Amino acid sequence: MTSVATGADLQGLEQELLASIAAAGDLAAIEQARIAVLGKKGRIAELMQTLGTLPAEQRKGFGQSVNEIKARVSEALEARKASLEGDALSQRLVNERADVTLPVRPGAVADGRIHPVSQVYDECVEIFADMGFAVAEGPDIETDDLNFTKLNIPPEHPARQEHDTFYFRPKEDGSRLVLRTHTSPVQIRTMLAQKPPIRIIAPGRVYRSDSDQTHTPMFHQIEGLVIDETTHMGHLKWVLEEFCKAFFEVDEVKMRFRASHFPFTEPSMEVDIGAEAIGKPGQWLEILGCGMVHPNVLRNCGLDPEKYQGFAFGMGLDRIAMLKYGLTDLRAFFSGDLRWLRHYGFSVLDVPTLSGGLSG
Applying CB under 6 A, does 262 fall inside the site for ligand 2U9?
A: yes
Minimum Å distance from CB 281 to ligand 2U9?
A: 24
Binder among 264, 333, 344, 346 for ligand 2U9 (CB under 6 A)? 264
Minimum Å distance from CB 107 to ligand 2U9?
A: 37
Minimum Å distance from CB 335 to ligand 2U9?
A: 20
Minimum Å distance from CB 186 to ligand 2U9?
A: 8
- Are residues 198 and 225 in contact, defined by beta-carbon separation less than 8 angstroms? yes
Q: Cα(311)–Cα(313) distance, rounded to whole angstroms?
A: 7
- Pick the stretch among 11-19, 117-125, 218-226, 245-253 that binds ligand 2U9 (CB under 6 A): 218-226
Applying CB under 6 A, does 124 fall inside the site for ligand 2U9?
A: no
Task: Compare residues 20 and 265 and give the one whose CB is closer to ligand 2U9.
Answer: 265
Strand partners, 167: 178
Residues at the binding site for Mg(2+) are: 266
Binder among 313, 333, 344, 346 for ligand 2U9 (CB under 6 A)? 313
Applying CB under 6 A, does 225 fall inside the site for ligand 2U9?
A: yes
Applying CB under 6 A, does 223 fall inside the site for ligand 2U9?
A: yes
Binder among 147, 221, 231, 309 for ligand 2U9 (CB under 6 A)? 221
- Pick the stretch among 111-119, 156-164, 309-317, 340-348 that binds ligand 2U9 (CB under 6 A): 309-317
Fill in the per-residue mask, 153 to 182: x = in contact with ligand 2U9 (CB under 6 A), - = not in contact: -----------------------------x
Residue 310 C-alpha from the chain's centroid = 27
Minimum Å distance from CB 183 to ligand 2U9?
A: 8
Q: What is the DSSP string of 262-292?
A: ETTEEEEEEEEEEGGGGT-TT-EEEEEEEEE
Minimum Å distance from CB 117 to ligand 2U9?
A: 13
Q: Cα(149)–Cα(255) distance, rounded to whole angstroms?
A: 32
Applying CB under 6 A, does 310 fall inside the site for ligand 2U9?
A: no
Backbone phi, psi, residue 219, to 5°: -145, -175
Long-range contacts (CB closer than 8 Å, 24 or more residues apart) made by 105-114: 109/348, 109/349, 112/348, 113/341, 113/342, 113/345, 113/346, 113/347, 113/348, 114/345, 114/346, 114/347, 114/348
> What's the DSSP call for residue 153?
-
Minimum Å distance from CB 184 to ligand 2U9?
A: 4
* CB contact set of 89 (below 8 Å; sequence gap of 6+): none
> What's the DSSP call for residue 142?
E
Size of the site for ligand 2U9 (CB under 6 A): 21
What is the number of other CB atoms lying within 10 angstroms of the CB of residue 74? 15
Task: Compare residues 20 and 231 and give the one whose CB is closer to ligand 2U9.
Answer: 231
Q: Are strands 134-135 and 198-207 parallel, antiparallel or unpaired?
A: parallel
Minimum Å distance from CB 150 to ligand 2U9?
A: 8
> Of the candidates 285, 355, 315, 354, which has an alpha carbon nearest to the alpha carbon of residue 122?
354
> Of the candidates 293, 333, 335, 295, which has an alpha carbon nearest to the alpha carbon of residue 316?
333
- Are residues 301 and 318 in contact, defined by beta-carbon separation less than 8 angstroms? no
Residues at the binding site are: 266
Binder among 21, 77, 146, 188 for ligand 2U9 (CB under 6 A)? 188
Fill in the per-residue mask, 286 to 305: x = in contact with ligand 2U9 (CB under 6 A), - = not in contact: --xxxx-x---x--------
* List of residues contacting ligand 2U9 (CB under 6 A): 182, 184, 187-188, 221, 223, 225, 262, 264-265, 288-291, 293, 297, 312-316
